[in-house]
Structure 1
Amino acid sequence: MEIKELSPVIGVEILGVDASAPISDAMVAEMRDLLNTHSVLLLRGQNLTEAQHIAFSRHFGDLQIHVLTQYLTTAHPEIYVLSNVKEAGRSIGNHKEGWNWHSDWSYLEIPCFGSVLYARECPPEGADTLFSSMHAAWEALDPEMQAKIRHLKAVHSYAGYYDKAFGDREPLTDAQRAATPDVVHPVVRTHPETGRLSLYVGEDIVKEILDLPADEAAALLATLNAHAISDEFVYRHKWQEGDLLIWDNRCTMHKATPYDDVKYRRIMHRTTIKGTDRPV
């Protein structure tokens, strides 16, 4: 399998793989190894039906359904739509989603393992996605800071994030809030397959760090978030139609960036790979 480095610390492009075709167990195992090592995989020039997108994603595990069911607008509920497009006056996808640094579904007791995002329509400018290596961020901390945060825990709150990010929309339903109660995860987590440590923080969804005075906890979270997104840890992905991007949410954060949503259309389809372990 031919690969090309995307950045010195995170991400590789895999060349010559057709995600719409049958894929051998050996190739899946090799991609899984690459994901464990590099955290982000890119396959360019793909041409996938919705069913093929789902079939490819299932090579990595079972899929989960997003709690915002109003954006499951394809024939397949496994596909969460990110888009500014409206049809018959109704949004076909969630717009301005993920414009903060986060790991997908960290607000669940067992967060998701990975995400598989397929670019169907891309603006010619803007709408990049930034990815940061939380392994590299942890390893770059000085030993004193590592010792300070090694056993701290933090509260992840989807309701808190939603209320901040989407105050202009209909609030979460009672059922959606019940499905996403606040959860507590370690600030430093161990990768379940490699044993490698990484930071596990984020903006907005991570509400607070426990067992510290409130002011100290807020300052520490701000410091860790700022450190985690330092330029040396970050890869900027400039989307092309047909890009298929797979990333490991257990050791990365990412962030969407704005674009001219009046001038351009954007349609992205995402599947989400189920996690199997609570962060430890």
Structure 2
Amino acid sequence: MVFAVFTTATEAEAPKVLAIREVYQPPSATSSDGRVVPIKHDNKVDFGAEIYGIDLNNFTSADFALISDALHRHKLLVFKEQPQMLTPQQQYRLASCFDPDEKTGGFAHGADPVLLSENGVTIYGLPNRPAINAQPQVHILGRGEVPQGHFDFPPGFKVKGIDHVNFHLPPHTPQEERDAGSSRFYQWHWDGSLYKIPPPRVGCLLAVRTPKGPDVTVHWGDGTGRTMDIAPGATAMIAGSRALQVLEPELREIVLHSRIEYAPHAFQWMSTARSTKLGHLIETEGREMPLDKLSPWTEDGICVYPMVWTNPVTGEKSLQVHGQGAFKLYLRNKPDGDETVVTDLKEVRAFMDNDRRIMSPVLSPENIYAHPHQEQDVILWYNRALWHSITEFPESYGPRIMHQCNIAASDHPSV
């Protein structure tokens, strides 16, 4: 077992860099006591399983073999009956085992800036994503005050919640309706920086604190009147395989042979724009940050990914597209067909949804699993086969404190 060695840049450097190199092998064992129990759904969702009998703070190589196989087959795993809260170090080690060729161990969105420094302690990250110093690839997501004495965080430290009012196109949900349990999907995506850094193979969330209250009602806000009742603070998920399956045959052939170019520093680029109410596209209003105003970028850092990714274990194909970061399209209807390059953002977004309806067919209640987090449970998902979104809940329900681990992969997705 080789433990982490951290290297830290000097105070004069900004943002401060936290890097790590680690090769971790879990303790060996000949067999695992883990049990895989598929989740039964009352809609068309066909992914997800619960795992019993594995203590993630002490998992063995046999346990990991079971976990890896189950993850690629079920795409989402929920680890139940954990005897203790998963440590950040072990959460990182679990994620890192899925990519032994990755040597830097870096956070999937790059180096974190300094968030605050007081009483000799420096915290890195963003207000809505502070990093845990003990393992800087593990961040706190959610909203509200962290538990007293939580790692290096000062007393009363609060994580800033993500609010659709700050990102979605108006009209926004009135505050009184939100207080009564009206909710929205914030952003449908898979995890990744969309620039330079390969997206993680897996995502991992530990529920430290969960909001307490009745179910909330997610409103689509697209004129259809669709709604969905879910647990407060649930993470909504959709299978990319289902997204591919529900496309019209002609469109399916196109996406199978086409690619997307994502904007440089895509999240900075879209930060001045506004999302659709459903959280899957950016509205075309000309509000994106100009490319010459972005942080320095180079052409060789631009990410151009296939629209469809293949599960290396099962061979299953998934439509994996990030509509909000899409910048250009390279379209073919067969492997050796002529390629059409689409550069106009309005046309790019029309193809993604409005005219050709690539994303919205699957964004329907019967295809969505909204995972109801339980404190001390851990969820692990195959990031290259699922889309997900956070959902909103009333502030009166209390804090939602989650530990998330994202590690840059050793390779970019291929067909």
TM-score (norm 2): 0.58
Q: Deviations over 1:29-72 (max 9, x none)?
A: 12111111111111123322333323333333354324344221
Write the letter of the residue equivalent to 2:36: I
CA deviation after TM superposition for structure 1 residue 4, in Å: 2.3
Describe the shift of the 1:56–1:212 C-alpha distance in structure 2 as closer, same or farther (beyond 3 A): closer
Give the SS at the match of 1:105: coil
Aligned residue in 1 for 2:186 = 99
User: Does 1:45 pair with 2:132?
Assistant: no
Give the SS at the match of 1:160: helix
Write the letter of the residue equivalent to 1:2: R
Matched residues in 2 for 1:209 and 1:151: separation? 11
User: Does 1:233 pair with 2:363?
Assistant: no
Q: Deviations over 1:193-225 (max 9, x none)?
A: 443221121342334534137444322211112
CA deviation after TM superposition for structure 1 residue 82, in Å: 0.7
Describe the shift of the 1:242–1:264 C-alpha distance in structure 2 as closer, same or farther (beyond 3 A): same
- Report matched runs for 1:180-195 at 5 Å: 182-195=302-315
Structure 1: any 5+ residue segments left out of the alignment? none
- Report matched runs for 1:106-185 at 5 Å: 107-109=194-196, 110-125=198-213, 126-156=232-262, 157-164=266-273, 177-178=295-296, 182-185=302-305
Matched residues in 1 for 2:256 and 2:234: separation? 32
Describe the shift of the 1:229–1:178 C-alpha distance in structure 2 as closer, same or farther (beyond 3 A): farther
Give the SS at the match of 2:205: strand
- Report matched runs for 1:190-209 at 5 Å: 190-209=310-329
- Contact 2:327-2:348 at 8 Å conserved across structures: no
Matched residues in 2 for 1:93 and 1:16: separation? 32
Give the SS at the match of 2:207: strand
Larger CA Rg, structure 1 vs 2: 2
Write the letter of the residue equivalent to 1:231: P
Give 1 or 2: higher helix fraction.
1
Give the root-mean-square deviation of aligned CA atoms.
3.1
TM-score (norm 1): 0.83
Give the SS at the match of 1:78: strand
Describe the shift of the 1:116–1:165 C-alpha distance in structure 2 as closer, same or farther (beyond 3 A): farther
* Percent identity over paired residues: 25
- Contact 2:328-2:343 at 8 Å conserved across structures: no
- Contact 1:73-1:81 at 8 Å conserved across structures: yes
- Contact 2:246-2:362 at 8 Å conserved across structures: no
- Contact 1:209-1:221 at 8 Å conserved across structures: no
Matched residues in 2 for 1:219 and 1:279: separation? 24
What number of residue pairs does the alignment pair up? 272
Which one of 30, 33, 37 corresponds to residue 4 of structure 1? 37
Aligned residue in 1 for 2:27 = none
Greater shift, 264-273 or 154-163, is seen at 154-163
Matched residues in 2 for 1:89 and 1:207: separation? 43
Structure 2: any 5+ residue segments left out of the alignment? 1-33, 114-124, 146-152, 164-184, 214-231, 276-288, 331-340
Give the SS at the match of 2:406: strand
Which one of 213, 217, 228 corresponds to residue 348 of structure 2? 217
Aligned residue in 2 for 1:25 = 61
Describe the shift of the 1:182–1:94 C-alpha distance in structure 2 as closer, same or farther (beyond 3 A): farther
Give the SS at the match of 2:412: coil
Which one of 125, 138, 144 corresponds to residue 85 of structure 1? 144
Matched residues in 2 for 1:55 and 1:263: separation? 32
Aligned residue in 2 for 1:249 = 383
